[in-house]
Structures are given as C-alpha cells and as structure tokens.
Amino acid sequence: MSDNRPMVLGTYNQKKRSELQRLLLPLDIQLKTLEEYPAAIEVVEDGTSFAENAAKKATQQAITLGEWVLAEDSGLCVDALKGAPGIYSARFSGEDATDEKNNDLLLEKLADLPPEKRGAHYVCHIVLANPEGEVVLIAEDKCHGRIVRKRRGTNGFGYDPLFELREYHRTFGEMGPAIKSLISHRAKASRAFVEKLRVILAKNRALFAQEKN
C-alpha cells in the first residue's frame, strides 16, 4: 500500500484544500483539487438540500475521474427567512451575485428586525464517494449565531462580516482564520469527517489501494 492515499477535493479552492489537508495529514491522505484533473466536470447543483448537492458533486465527479472524491456543500440559513438563502447562499442576489450583493440583500430582507429575531446558522455537509460513485462516508455540522445590522470585520468571505457568534460577540469577519478554523461549521464537519475516516481505515488499511487498478 502506498504511504500516500490519494483523494480529490471536489473544488478548485486551494484555501479549502489547505485547511482540510492539515486535518488529513495523520491519515497519510494526499489531497488534490480539481485543478489537477482536466477531465473534471461541472456538476449541476440542482439538489433540494445541502446533502443532495454534496452527494451529487462527490459521486458524479468520482465516476468521471475514477478517483475517491470528497465534496461539500455549505451555506447560511436564516430563521426569519424560513431557512433562506440555504442552498442558494452563493447566488442569493441572482446569477451575477457577489458577496457584497448577497450581504446587501440579506440586510434589506431583515430590515429592522430586533436581535432576538435575527437568528441564523451555517451548515456544512460533507460526502466521500469511491471511484464507483458510491457514497462511503457522510458528515455534517452547524454553527449557530445571528445576523448583525451592519458589516463588521474584513476576514473570511460570504456572509462572514454579518454572522455573529453570540458567545464571542464577534462576527466571523472579526475573527482571524486560526479561530474560525476551530469553531466554524466547516471546521467541525471536517473534524467529524476525519474521525469517521480514521475508524474506517482502522478496519481496512488497504481500502484505497483496493479501489485502484
């Protein structure tokens, strides 16, 4: 068995790869991104939930590439908006959406709601599929907070300048990456994923090698 087990992260985002690679180091996982695979496809995210979209990205890409593929889907759910923007978080303000436009629209929709009615949570759902496109592992976690009235902080991306963790009295935008990497929805889901993968590999150390021709 190779010392480095290959796994593809279903994204072109190198920051996400770097964050997850640190957690996978003890398992000798070599994490790659779609940039290294010219044959990678663009998966249509038309599922009705984070779980469906993550599964589609993992399974379809795995079949196409013939590799183990890890994919995640995440977003912001606001209580007062009945869970919106949810799976549409990245394109909340339309096809030409940007972080700025999305944040502006969110503030507009919440308008003058008091703090106690501005509850929200981030969700991250992670799926690992084998080269045959079968889902092997699932992990999910959340991070609860509320939406503040104006942007605070310049760190992070997306809705981070508006998402405040009540117990810290700070937004993700005001927190450095070191803190966020410990308490965010993606961080918690990633740790849960790694722990589940550790258990699977303890039972079958040759798992990855068996799937490769």
Task: List the chain domain ranges.
Answer: 5-211
Does residue 167 carry a pLDDT above 80? yes
What is the model's pLDDT at position 209? 63
Does residue 107 carry a pLDDT above 60? yes
What is the model's pLDDT at position 178? 81
Question: If you classify domain 5-211 with CATH, what class do you get?
Answer: alpha beta
Average pLDDT, the chain: 91
User: Quick one: average pLDDT of 113-129?
Assistant: 97
Q: Residues at the annotated binding site? A: 11-16, 73-74, 157-160, 180, 185-186
Q: Residues at the annotated binding site for Mg(2+)? A: 73
User: Quick one: average pLDDT of 146-151?
Assistant: 97
Does residue 114 carry a pLDDT above 70? yes
CA dihedral 4, 40, 10, 52 (to 10 degrees): -130
What is the model's pLDDT at position 4? 62
Distance CA 140, CA 43 (A): 21
What is the model's pLDDT at position 208? 72
What is the model's pLDDT at position 125? 96
C-alpha distance from residue 135 to each of 33, 52, 126, 130, 139 (Å): 19, 11, 11, 7, 11
Top pLDDT among 158 and 180 is at: 158
SS3 content of the chain, % helix, strand, coil (to 5): 45, 25, 35
Distance CA 210, CA 213 (A): 8
Question: Coil, strand, or helix at residue 37?
Answer: coil
Q: What is the token pair recorded at 36?
A: 């290294």
Q: Of 3, 28, 73, 141, which residue is the catalytic one? A: 73
**What DSSP assignment string belongs to 150-200?**
S---SSSSTTTTTEEETTTTEEGGGS-HHHHHHHSHHHHHHHHHHHHHHHH
| One-letter amino acid for residue 131 of the chain | P
What is the model's pLDDT at position 22? 81
Q: What is the pTM of this model?
A: 0.89
What is the model's pLDDT at position 89? 96
User: Quick one: average pLDDT of 105-133?
Assistant: 96
Reply yes or no on whether 73 is catalytic. yes
Q: Please give the angle made by the CA atoms of 58, 53 and 134, to the nearest 5 degrees.
A: 35
pLDDT tens profile 24-83 = 888 888 899 999 999 999 999 999 999 999 999 999 999 999 999 999 999 999 999 999
Q: Residues at the annotated binding site for substrate? A: 11-16, 74, 157-160, 180, 185-186
Does residue 117 carry a pLDDT above 90? yes
**Taking Cα atoms as reference points, which of 110, 174, 183 lies closest to residue 147?**
110
